[in-house]
Chains A and B, each alone.
Chain A
Amino acid sequence: MDFNLGNDTEGVSGRGCTVSTNARERWGERNNEDKPMAKWGMTIDLDRCTACQACVTACQAENNLPPTGPDDSRKGRNFTWMEMIPFAGEGERPKAIERLLPRPCLHCDNPPCVKVCPVGATMLNEDGIVGQVYSRCIGCRYCTTACPYTARYFNWSVPVWPEPMQQHLNPDVSVRPKGVVEKCTFCHHRLQNARDNASAENRPLRAGEYTPACVEACPAVAMTFGDLSNPHSEVSKLSHSRRAYKLLEDLGTEPKVIYLREGE
């Protein structure tokens, strides 16, 4: 175990990134051969969330999501890996308080999307991240229909960026071709970068070294990210708070994005 427990750090195990693309080897099971891997997860404190949508924008910029307009929106062709879901709040309309709930991919431990993929283009990897292999995907959209959270997106056409934006694409994230499914990856490229840095300096991964763009951008500090398998991590403690709940918990999908209820 490469735990590195400092006073303000949470320990996570560091290991070279292995994205398994051979689906026959795995079907949802985790690979526990040598070292226990981190189980990356997130808590979103709805008491702190102001619904400012900074996370949505940060995600769009970080992950090269193609910009879309009202026309696309009407056709259901938006790319919002992090999406604000409207929830009916308290009170009667028109005075009702509308609530918005930020929803990334929940990276279920029992992902319904991974089960149904006919070609193994999506998998639950050792880090607990549900990944998508764009070069394998045949675009049948079975995973998108199987996901109860509708957290998967399809490339209806070749993505286009207006002229100046093309020069601002993130070189760490591949641009998706038309006809494949894509989704939130917990900014997996950031984990790879952090691991590369750590192994170059011959040390384990430090807590806080790997943070997805949405968490980093949140001005209200409503989101916490880290290793859920480490009982000392902040995210792990928050996930056991009395306010913690999971979306559509009774479906048994075991999401690793955990919400903290308002009002305490």
Chain B
Amino acid sequence: MSAVSKRPDPPPLTEDAILLEPVLRTGWRFYVTVAALLSIMALGAYAYSKQYREGLGVTGLGRPVYWGFYITNFVFFIGISHAGTLISAILRIVGAEWRRTITRSAEVITVMVILFGVGNILIDLGRPDRMLNVIFHGRLQSPLLWDVCSITMYLTMSTLYLYLPLIPDIAILRDHTNKRHWFYRLLALGWTGTPKQHRVLETLIGVMAIIVIPVAVSVHTVVSFVFAMTIQPMWHSAIFGPYFVVGAIFSGIAALIVAMALIRWVYGLGDYLKKVHFNNLGLLLLVMCFLWFYFTAAEFLTVFYGSEPAHMTIFWMKFTGPFAPHFWTMVTTCFVIPVAILCNRRTRTVLGTVIASISVNIGMYLERFIIVVPSLSQPRLPHSESIVYSPTWVEWSILAGCFAAFSLFYVLFTKLFPIVSIWEVQEGRERSIAEVTERLKTYLPEPHASVERRAPVGVTP
């Protein structure tokens, strides 16, 4: 309030001091990681500079396979981005108390990875210098413009949704460290933790959590519309919207589990990211597994039963043709392996869920790939020149560069801000235990009321 008491003595962080450790202390491992990631990024940047100078001819693309890795990356990264905001928002709304330590790491994934989703679309452009034409001359009839609108909105909202719950923690950093003091003071927006501030913040978080869900659903729906709105075989499908949303949440949860395991291992946060978190997320992943299988089966059975020739060409390419290895690996990694691991309580450990998650992410990348490429490989008209698309080193390097850049951004975030929400953990410890007990009581029949109601039964006039 007054300018004199700029730095009042903050309450000590005895119990949660470990959460500030990554921000305060930096070891050699950090520099090695950053150096490794930077060198991979440099390779990706070199590959892109070559593509920028020489044109898209340096890729494996050609007629008729006009889209390949970059569009696959785009769909995949946008899918991963559903990890954060959507899962965190749902857990907040339903009041799942186990969310407290994991929401932050989920929300960061969203914001960081969405940049690479957008980035891959820009990398895919033949004329990136003209990308602003989409704004100056945009046509709303084009599904690509729906993507532009929806993803921009999603990026803005997810950033805000990441930032809001971060404010009290930034204030803690401001009060407890002398590092980058100006930076934290600026971002803390004068947070002092008064009850009024808490009320405003919680209202805002609550509102954002509700708004962000339809936006997140719309994002992956319109990503699928890019394909579904064309009349190409096995793209022109009404199921694509929900199918993509389910796939996105599926791969998003898997990515979150991997990220959490890394954080737990690197920063020794086993007390915060506990087995129960991996168990619960593992169960969510299992549910999504079955849901994904249901959609996949529905999609392929519909095509098979209708057996239109143009669609069947693509169908057999996936089942037995050149894309069969991709397809069957996808079925194994997206369904067989994770279900086998996650169905059993004894294998649903931290390690088990991580293995299942890595498997799911490999499978989901393949899924995106065999949605994009086979439909283009066999156009409806017979073709004088058929090409087999295989990505070149440029496309591989750019993919690796994107992963490296995403990891670097994530690592840097953990060095700037606590990756587990400190104030939410404290709040859980101080207030929620009592609140949950109270809430539980409201679910049960009230003892007095039931006694009173029962009393007149015996008294018959």
- Point out residues on A near B: beta carbons under 8 Å: 23-24, 27, 73-78, 80, 83-88, 103, 112, 115-121, 136-142, 144-146, 148-150, 153-158, 177-181, 247-248, 251
Q: Is the CB of A85 within 8 A of B383?
A: yes
Residue B323 CB within 8 A of the other chain = no
Give the residues in chain B near A75, CB-CB below 8 Å. Answer: 60, 62, 387
Give the residues in chain B near A153, CB-CB below 8 Å. Answer: 63
Give the residues in chain B near A116, CB-CB below 8 Å. Answer: 141-144, 229-230
Q: Is the CB of A145 within 8 A of B67?
A: yes
Give the residues in chain B near A86, CB-CB below 8 Å. Answer: 382-384
Give the residues in chain A near B144, CB-CB below 8 Å. Answer: 116, 118, 140, 142
Residue B268 CB within 8 A of the other chain = no
Q: Is the CB of A146 within 8 A of B63?
A: no
Give the residues in chain A near B232, CB-CB below 8 Å. Answer: 145-146, 148
Residue B422 CB within 8 A of the other chain = no
Q: Is the CB of A154 within 8 A of B127?
A: no
Say what secondary structure dominates the interface of chain B.
loop
Given A145-B67, A148-B232, A154-B66; A23-B376 close (CB under 8 Å): no
Give the residues in chain A near B66, CB-CB below 8 Å. Answer: 141, 144-145, 154
Q: Is the CB of A156 within 8 A of B55?
A: yes
Q: Is the CB of A119 within 8 A of B381?
A: no
Residue B299 CB within 8 A of the other chain = no
Q: Is the CB of B142 within 8 A of A117?
A: yes
Q: Is the CB of A141 within 8 A of B67?
A: yes
Residue B56 CB within 8 A of the other chain = yes
Residue B137 CB within 8 A of the other chain = yes
Q: Is the CB of B381 within 8 A of A85?
A: yes
Q: Is the CB of B139 within 8 A of A23?
A: yes
Give the residues in chain B near A85, CB-CB below 8 Å. Answer: 381-384
Looking at the complex, which one of A112, A119, A148, A180 makes contact with B137 (CB distance below 8 Å)? A119
Looking at the complex, which one of A119, A154, A156 makes contact with B134 (CB distance below 8 Å)? A119
Q: Is the CB of B376 within 8 A of A118?
A: no
CA distance A73 to B134 in the complex (A): 32
Interface set, chain B 371-412, CB cutoff 8 A to A = 376, 379-387
Q: Is the CB of A76 within 8 A of B62?
A: yes
Given A139-B126, A248-B381; A157-B54 close (CB under 8 Å): yes
Closest to A77 in B: B62
CB distance from A80 to the nearest CB of B (A): 8
Give the residues in chain B near A140, CB-CB below 8 Å. Answer: 121, 124-126, 144
CA distance A136 to B133 in the complex (A): 7
CA distance A138 to B145 in the complex (A): 13
CB distance from B455 to the nearest CB of A (A): 72
CB distance from A135 to the nearest CB of B (A): 9
Query: Contact string, B283-299, partner A, CB cutoff 8 A, digits 1/0?
Result: 00000000000000000
